Amino acid sequence: MDLKDKLKRLLDSPYRDFLEEDDLQSEGESLTLRQRLELIYRRSRQEQGLAGKVLEPKRIEELVQGRVEETPYGQCFVREIEYSPEYCHGEVSLSSLLKVTPESCCKLTGEERFSEWSHSKAVFVDTETTGLSGGTGTFIFMIGLGYFQGERFRLWQFFARDYSEEMAILYLVDRLTQPFQFLVTFNGKQFDLPLLQTRYRLSRMDTFLHQLSHFDLIYPSRRIWRLRLENCRLSTLERSLLGVERRGDVPGEEIPGVYFDYLRSQNATLIARVFYHNAQDILSLVGLMATICLLYHRPFSHGEWCGEDFYSLGRLFHQLGEAEKGSRCYLQALDSGIPAHLVPSAFKALSSIYKKNREWDKALKAWDDLLVLGEKEFDLFPYEEIAKYWEHQQHDYPRATEVVERALSHLRRVKEELFPDRYAAMERALEHRLRRLRLRAQGKRWY
């Protein structure tokens, strides 16, 4: 019995009796596949209003200065630009990148490998893609990369005039990046690199790109400017920090559509603007990296940072273990003015730096400031810290007791404003401390 017979034998449900094989087959035969597709999708087609614009073909070669490059994987279009060191991107000259030090890169990335940093070993990369969602259906149609040759900055852009040229651009990019040791991107860890890896794998090609030491500028940018800027997209950063104004740009979210339209119409007018967009992005990588690394070394040399920036820098330095720079930034932040809700955290951070350095006078001053702030919104922290200071540093138990008593009476005064569970926990903690202090004051073991 072959499979078909077996199936037939199995098909004997109560309803099967009423339906002949022919009935099942005949369904849909009256309409062609095309008619059925149109029936289902007719309305969505009408809504889309497809096939509206018809453009005359216009080749990229006529609009962008570049050349067609032959590779073992076919052709693609290549554009090359060279910038002199004096070239200014917004307010930042490209040569300022030459001052970036290995130390700043190591600290900001947390990677030892950057101790060998040299601008001549770094390549700046940005890709243009057919989508932002990732996955194997997102193609890369343009890869821009830049590097310093001597003091001059060279920028290459590889463009796939259709999908079949993607392998050629991947091939050229891989060849060109091989001599480099460092990679600089913006959000490349999340987006560009995984996507490049996917494209290389799909093309059954290998790449060194993911072995390069990678400095993704999005992380330090977020740490420093998240508080001040409405977002930390590259376009926002370059406008606010580098003073870059783009003219005739294509917004990033429109780029996939521009490429799809170009594929069908073969009119490259808007693609020329994508070349511009990509080049600007790469220049912004250079400008942004220079700005961040210089800020690391000399946070106070530049007059344009505001209170929030210093606050963020203070936190950054504090986290990086550079307490001295951190405390200066916090002080500068308080001096320049920061939003009220950040003030207590700034004082707390400052006091913990002082405490660690055993600079007790400064610490006490910071806690006193916090007590004043606490008049508006109750905060247990300064009371506890001051009490600990008297108890553990000075062994002055009566004084510590007095602080705790003040805290308790303050707490009870504001009881109504506090969430009951939180109130109870704080009250318990204070009472416990008080009991212990009383025992200690009597010279007893408190535990």
Partner 1 sequence: MSIESVLEGFKSSPSVARNVTTWRHLPARKENYVDFPPHLHPKLAEALRKRGIERLYSHQATALALLGEGKNIVVVTPTASGKTLCYNLPVLQTMLEQPQSKALYLFPTKALSQDQLAELRQFSQLLPRSIKAFTYDGDTPPDLRRAIREEGEVVITNPDMLHTGILPHHTTWIKFFSALKYVVIDEIHYYRGVFGSHLTNLIRRLKRVCQHYGSQPQYICSSATIANPMELASRLVEEEIELVDNNGAPSSEKHFIFFNPPIVDKSLGIRSSYIAAARKLSLSFLEKSIPTIVFATSRLNVEVLVKYLKDVLEKGVKDEGKVRGYRGGYLPRTRREIEKGLREGEVIGVVSTNALELGIDIGSLDACVIAGYPGTISSTWQQAGRSGRRSGGAVAILVARSNPLDQFIINNPDYFFGSSPEYGLINPDNLIVLVNHIKCAAFELPFVEGEKFGSEDLTEILRFLEEDEILFYKNGRWYWTQDSYPANDISLRSITADNFVVIDRSEKSKVIGEVDYTSAPTLLYKDAIYMSESQLYQVEELDFAGRKAYVRQVNSDYYTDAISYTGVRILDIFQSQPSAKVVKAHGEVRVNSRVVGYKKIKFYTMENVGYGEVSLPEQEFHTTAYWFTIPEPALSGLGFERSEVIDGLLGLSYLLQHIAAFFLMCDVKDIDRCLGDKEANWFIRQKEQGRGIYSYDPSPREVDISGVRRFEPTLFLYENYPGGVGFSEHLYRGHQLLLQKAEEAIERCRCRYGCPSCVGPVPVTGSRVKQIAYEILKAIQ
Candidate list 1, 15, 303, 447; residue touching partner 1; CB under 8 A: 15
Question: Residue 21 corresponds to which tokens in the numbers above?
Answer: 């094989």
As measured in angstroms, the least distance from the Cβ of 266 to partner 1 is 11
Helix runs in 110-240, H state only: 166-177, 193-202, 218-225, 234-237
40 touches partner 1 (CB under 8 A):
yes
Per-residue binding string, partner 1, 242-261, x by CB under 8 A, is: --------------xx--x-
Radius of gyration, CA atoms only, the chain = 33
Comparison of 96 and 207: residue with beta carbon closer to partner 1: 207
Stretch that binds partner 1, among 134-142, 150-158, 231-239, 333-341 (CB under 8 A): 134-142
As measured in angstroms, the least distance from the Cβ of 228 to partner 1 is 29
As measured in angstroms, the least distance from the Cβ of 171 to partner 1 is 18
CA distance 311 to 329: 6
Stretch that binds partner 1, among 103-111, 160-168, 313-321, 369-377 (CB under 8 A): 160-168
Beta bridge partners of 77: 68, 159
Q: The tokens 């190591």 sit on which residue?
A: 106
* φ/ψ (deg, to 5) at 431: -65, -40
As measured in angstroms, the least distance from the Cβ of 141 to partner 1 is 11
> Strand, helix or coil at 75?
strand
36 touches partner 1 (CB under 8 A):
yes
The amino acid sitting at 88 is C
Candidate list 84, 91, 118, 131; residue touching partner 1; CB under 8 A: 131
Per-residue binding string, partner 1, 43-82, x by CB under 8 A, is: --x--x-x--------------------------------
Site size toward partner 1, by CB under 8 A: 51
Our measurement of the distance from residue 431's CA atom to the centroid of its chain's CA atoms, rounded to an integer in Å, reads 46
CA distance 183 to 121: 9
Query: Do residues 121 and 100 touch, judged by C-beta distance below 8 A?
Result: no
**DSSP 8-state secondary structure symbol assigned to residue 251:** P
Beta bridge partners of 92: 89
Q: Which residues would be at the binding site for partner 1 (CB under 8 A)?
A: 3, 6-7, 10-19, 23-24, 27-28, 30, 33-34, 36-37, 39-41, 45, 48, 50, 130-137, 139, 162-164, 194, 197-198, 201-202, 256-257, 260, 263-264, 421
